Structure 1
Amino acid sequence: MAGLTAAALAVVGFLGYQASASVPESLEKPAAAAPSALPSKAAAEAPREDPLAVPTGSGTGVRVVYSLGERRVWLVGTEDLTQTFPVMPSTVSPEPGTYEVTSRSGRIQGSDGVEIEHVVRFATVDEVSIGFSAAVDGSMSSPAPGRKTGGVRMERADGDAMWTFATIGSKVVVVP
């Protein structure tokens, strides 16, 4: 089983490399958007050629990539081996940019009252901590409107992977 997983990751990494190598130069460096600009609804609905490929313009090297519009995270490791999974953003989101993991907590109560684990914090917006986490009960429901919370929720297995991957100082790149 481990051999099949390794082979699958190698294939995904190779395909991601091929996809990134064939991107025209005009698409590699997107024009800078205004800091507060989020993708329009039409832009968010326009499917990318390979929705599981790491977004262009997300940098290089080992990093966590978080797409606000796609509600998806990529753990980009060495040799282009990548894991990706969907997430549920909270009511407060960081601006697109490059951050680093500043703190982590094994298991705490989230600002919404839900017990969470594997909290990986990387930004603060209007005094709200932004970080990835998994609800212990496995829930990924939409956050309550009107509450200022910064938890980016994921499934527990994905939270395990994030916890192992994103240690203090790890790079986190947020893209529109």
Structure 2
Amino acid sequence: MAGLTAAALAAVGFLAYQASANVPDSLAKPAAPSSAAPGPSGSPVKKPDPLVVPAKSGTGKRVVYALKARRVWLVSASGKAQRTFPVMPSTINPKPGAYAVTSRKDRTAGSDGVPIEHVVRFATVGGATIGFSAALDNTMPSPDPTSKTGGVRMKRADGDALWSFTTVTSKVVVVR
């Protein structure tokens, strides 16, 4: 009986060796993690590259503000995004189009009473001034929907970058 057991173990070992020698490479290696999530058809859907500047946002050096994406791009004269970052829109939004920075203020209180810095104003809608700013406490809470405010908030580091990038008359392009 011991001879049969030894023979059976030898046969199983041989078959296991044969099976491991014939595994296709695609099954032998673990799949690389994918940054793409499966789409409705099961095929991967790539996330858009955040550095890609929105289409139809003009040319030249400009700030691009995408309302739906809640994102800003700082675009160089060559058309390349130097930086992009998320923002929290205000309760009042400008219409899509081209604007120019009308004024800048280093520090003040926002229309919601929050201390802010690096205010870059570029539009007026219904009497409300629209501009970018960063809260000194580095927060970006959703604005009170009952208040009519025009502050588009960003993190302080992003506010620093926007402040350094713009001057009065700098172009701001708003897209959907």
Per the normalisation by structure 2, the TM-score is 0.71
What do the CA deviations read for 1:29-48 (whole angstroms, capped 9, x no partner)? xxxxxxxxxxxxxxxxxx87
- Considering only aligned residues, what root-mean-square deviation do their CA atoms show, in Å? 1.6
- Report the identity percentage: 65
Q: CA deviation at 1:152?
A: 0.3
> Please, which runs of 5 or more residues in structure 2 have no aligned partner?
1-45
Alpha-carbon separation, structure 2, partners of 1:77 and 1:158: 16
Larger helix fraction of residues: 1
Counterpart in the other structure of 1:148: 148
Alpha-carbon separation, structure 2, partners of 1:81 and 1:54: 6
Counterpart in the other structure of 2:23: none
Pairing 1:88–2:77 present: no
Alpha-carbon separation, structure 1, partners of 2:73 and 2:48: 16
Q: CA deviation at 1:77?
A: 1.2
Structure 1 residues 156 and 99: alpha-carbon distance in aligned structure 2, compared to 1, 3 A threshold: same
Alpha-carbon separation, structure 1, partners of 2:158 and 2:124: 22
Q: Counterpart of 1:78 in 2: which secondary structure?
A: coil
Q: CA deviation at 1:81?
A: 4.7
Q: CA deviation at 1:151?
A: 0.3
Alpha-carbon separation, structure 2, partners of 1:73 and 1:175: 10
8 Å CA contact retained: 2:53, 2:81 = no
Letter in 2 for 1:110: G
Highest CA radius of gyration, 1 or 2? 2
Structure 1 residues 97 and 48: alpha-carbon distance in aligned structure 2, compared to 1, 3 A threshold: farther
Counterpart in the other structure of 1:76: 75
When the two structures are aligned, how many residues end up with a matched partner?
131
Pairing 1:66–2:65 present: yes
Counterpart in the other structure of 2:52: 53
Q: Counterpart of 1:164 in 2: which secondary structure?
A: helix
Map residues 1-176 of structure 1 onto 2, 5 A cutoff: 49-79=48-78, 80-176=80-176
> Please, which runs of 5 or more residues in structure 1 have no aligned partner?
1-46
Structure 1 residues 48 and 92: alpha-carbon distance in aligned structure 2, compared to 1, 3 A threshold: farther
